[in-house]
Structure formats: C-alpha cells, structure tokens
Amino acid sequence: MRRGPGACGCSAEVLSYVLKRLLVALPTLLLVAASVFFLMRLIPGDPATVVLGDAATPEAVADLRIAFGLDRPVLVQFALWIERALGGDLGRSITSGEAVGPLILQRFQVTAAIVFASVGLAVLIAVPLGMLAAWKQNSWGDVAAVAAATFLLSIPSFWLGLIFLLVFGLWLGWVPVVGYVTFAEDFWGALHYIALPVATLALIETGVLIRMARASTVEVLRLDYIAHARAKGVPEWRVLARHAFPNAFAPTLTLIGLIMGSLLGGIAVIETVFTLPGLGRLLVEAIFARDYPVIQGVMLLIAVIYVVVNLVVDLLYPVFDPRVAAG
C-alpha cells in the first residue's frame, strides 16, 4: 500500500523528496534575488548620499560609490553578488559595515522566537475553540466565538501592542517596556521581553484561525462519516477528537503555513512598537538607508522561509489527510 512520507516519517523516499523540492526551489530563489537586486536600484536615492548626508561634496560621494562598488555596471554588480552569495558571503552592510549573513541570522532569531511562540499559542487556542463553535453551531457560544474572532481580526496590531504596553508595562509594571535580551543570555528575562509581542500577535492570529477551524469543522461535521461514527455509538468528544479533528485540521494547516511564512518574513510593526531588534525592523531601516546588501540578504531569507515553510506543510499534510501523498 501507498503511504504519505509524513505518515511513515522515515525512509529515503522522504529525504529524496525533500532534496527534490529544495532543488526545484533554486530557480525561484534566483528569480527573487534578481528582481530584488534590480528593483532596488530603480528606487531613486543613492546609499553614498544617504551615508554622507546633505553636505557631502560630489567628490566624496564618488569616492564612496567606488568603495561600495556602485560605480560598476549593474549587471557586473549582480554577477559579483551572486558569486559571493553562493559562497555564503552576502556582503557587508553599507551603513554599519557588519557582515550581512550573521546580522540577518541574529535578527531572525528574535523574530522567529516571537512568531513560533505566538502562532503556536494561537493554534492551541483557536483550533479547539473553532471546533467547539462549529460543534455547537448557531448556539450563543458559537455566535460569541465568531464575534470575538471578527473583533480580534479587526484590531490593528500596533494599537493592541500599545494598549498592552500601557496596561502591563506602565500601569502594572509586570514586564519591561523597552529592550531585549536573547534567550541565551537570560532565559527568564527574554521571556519577559517577548511576552507582550507574543500575546499581541497570538490574539490577532487567533481571530483568523478560529474562523478557519470553525468553517472547516462545520464542513466536516456535515459529512456521512461523522454520522456513521455517531451511528456506531461513538461518544461526542471522540467524534470530535478522532473523526472531525484530522479532517478539519488539514485546511487549517495550510493557513498556518501561510501565516508563518508571512510573519517570519517580518513583523516590522510589532517589532517597532516593542522596540525589538527583529528582521522586519532591520529591513525597514535598510530600505530607508538604501542599504542594498542588507535588503537583498533579507529578501533572500524571506524567500527561503516561504520555500521551507511550504515544504514542511506539505510533509505534514499526509499525516492528517492520507489521500494526499507526496509525489
């Protein structure tokens, strides 16, 4: 019989599938790299002018452009960048002089910690809640859950973040308002710093996920196999957990993948509100400074994130829906 690779979770077949998927992603990454590279250079503004300020002499600007390699033809610049990137060197930041690779990874850790924690939390809250709402469709509990979800969806994240800072940071003083330490430096301290951003993001994503989990559960509960399970005398909690959950969760999984992708690519607003040194803020700052190497590096990382997240979702899918086997 045929199994999905996720269902057996072993075998060389899975490994070869993963490798194949990553190989197929290479042209995508190249395309992203090229479009970011050339589109950036279409934006008016020049890093040398930005670095030197308004008072710079034309000579100083020209010298700096040579130092950055910006005087060469664009195609040559691109070829050089690709060549170095393949060797693992993404260049140095024009503004700070730091190596781009380590800089991005360091910032990404902050964003990733917040995103994983908040999406995980959101799934834990939203999926059971959405399923219960669907189970009790049209009851007051269902109406309340849908209303809450819609409300959460419509709150702007920066506003919720500011309110949290005000209440828990200033008034109650439970968590620090500004700053960040890494988990490696101080685990409990780091937890304090990311608590509010995680709560903010989690609440907002909960809204989307409740609606999705509810909608797909409503679909599934209508199907004959649910009636069949009940006709066998299966208790309701087991009907939900065993028969409805795997089938209702599969579409939600796709949505979780999309959410993870877009959040990992940057949560600039949240990072700005909570003054966190994350990937999103790095990107925004780099764009304002025309810091080409940093922008290119971040965009490339975002593309890689999407490829990897989608791959993970595809590998997990057969666990919930065995009809989908990789291939």
Q: With binding defined as CB under 8 A, does residue 225 bind another protein?
A: yes
CB of 126 to another protein, least distance (A): 20
* Of the candidates 129, 113, 41, 107, the residue with the CA atom closest to the CA atom of residue 302: 107
Q: With binding defined as CB under 8 A, does residue 235 bind another protein?
A: yes
Applying CB under 8 A, the span of 48-56, 102-110, 207-215, 221-229 interacting with another protein comes to 221-229
Applying CB under 8 A, the span of 56-64, 225-233, 267-275, 292-300 interacting with another protein comes to 225-233
Q: Which of 1, 42, 86, 170 binds another protein (CB under 8 A)?
A: 1
- Measure the CA angle with vertex 108, ends 103 and 113; round to 5°: 140
CB of 299 to another protein, least distance (A): 31
Q: With binding defined as CB under 8 A, does residue 9 bind another protein?
A: no
- Write out the two tokens for 254: 């796709």
Which of the residues 82 through 101 are near another protein (CB under 8 A)?
A: none
Integer angstrom CA distances of residue 43 from 47, 56, 102: 11, 21, 26
Q: Which of 8, 15, 16, 143 binds another protein (CB under 8 A)?
A: 16
Per-residue x/- marks for another protein, 18-57, CB under 8 A? Answer: --x-------------------------------------
Q: With binding defined as CB under 8 A, does residue 169 bind another protein?
A: no
Applying CB under 8 A, the span of 39-47, 83-91, 178-186, 243-251 interacting with another protein comes to 243-251
Backbone angle region of 235, left / alpha / beta, with phi > 0 → left and psi within -120 to 50 → alpha: beta
What's the rounded Cα separation, in Å, for the pair 226 and 57? 76
Q: With binding defined as CB under 8 A, does residue 322 bind another protein?
A: yes
What's the rounded Cα separation, in Å, for the pair 201 and 120? 11
* Of the candidates 95, 117, 51, 113, the residue with the CA atom closest to the CA atom of residue 277: 113
Residue type, 90: L
* Of the candidates 270, 257, 126, the residue with the CA atom closest to the CA atom of residue 194: 270
Q: Tell me the backbone φ, ψ of residue 185, rounded to 5 degrees.
A: -70, -45
Q: With binding defined as CB under 8 A, does residue 2 bind another protein?
A: yes
Residues of this chain that interact with another protein (CB under 8 A) are 1-2, 13, 16-17, 20, 137-138, 222-225, 227-235, 242-243, 246-247, 320-323, 326-327
